[in-house]
Amino acid sequence: MRREGHLIIISGPSGVGKGTVCTALKAMRPELKVSISATTRKKRPTEVDGENYFFYDENGFYELIQQGELIEYAKVHGNYYGTPKAYVMDQLDAGEDVILEIDVQGAMQVKQNMPGGIYIFLLPPHKNDLEARIRNRGTEDEANIELRLHNAQEEISMLHDYDYAVINEDVDECATLVSHIIDAENQRIDARLMRKYWEEFHD
Ligand code: 5GP
Classified as helix, coil or strand, 201 is helix
Query: What are the pLDDT digits (tens) for 155-173?
Result: 999 999 999 999 999 999 9
Q: What residue type is 95 in one-letter code?
A: G
Residue 82 in contact with ligand 1 by CB distance below 6 A: yes
Q: Are 106 and 72 in contact (CB under 8 A)?
A: yes
pLDDT of 1: 47
| 3 pLDDT tier (thresholds 50, 70, 90) | low
Query: Using an 8 Å Cβ cutoff, are 60 and 98 in contact?
Result: no
Neighbours of 189 (CB within 10 A): 7
pLDDT score at 137: 86
Is the CB of 81 within 6 Å of ligand 1?
Answer: yes
Give the contacts of 37 (CB within 8 A, at least 6 positions apart).
Answer: 53, 54, 81, 82, 83, 84, 100, 101, 102
> CA–CA distance from 87 to each of 29, 71, 82, 98 (Å)?
19, 10, 13, 9
> Whole-model pTM?
0.92
What does the mean pLDDT of the chain come to?
A: 93
Mean pLDDT for the stretch of residues 57-84: 97
Write out pLDDT tens, residues 79-134: 999 999 999 999 999 999 999 999 999 999 999 999 899 999 999 998 889 999 99
Contact 104, 92 (CB under 8 A): no
- Other beta carbons less than 10 A from residue 200's beta carbon: 8
Q: In what order do the strands lie in the sheet with 98-101?
A: 33-34, 98-101, 7-11, 118-123, 164-167
E strands within 50-157? Answer: 54-55, 70-76, 79-84, 98-101, 118-123
Quote the percentage of the chain above a pLDDT of 90: 80
155 CB less than 6 Å from ligand 1?
no
User: Which atom from ligand 1 is nearest to the alpha carbon of 10?
Assistant: 12
pLDDT of residue 200: 82
Cα–Cα dist 191/155, whole Å:
34
Whole-number pLDDT of residue 124: 94
Instruction: Assign 5 a pLDDT band (cuts: 50, 70, 90).
Output: very high
| 3-class DSSP state of 139 | coil
- Higher pLDDT residue, 52 or 187? 52
Q: Is the CB of 74 under 6 A from ligand 1?
A: yes
Q: Is 76 in the pocket of ligand 1 (CB under 6 A)?
A: yes
Grade residue 6 by pLDDT with cuts at 50, 70 and 90: very high
Query: For residue 11, which amino acid is it?
Result: S
CB of residue 91 inside a 6 A radius of ligand 1: no
Closest C-alpha to ligand 1, atom 15: 102
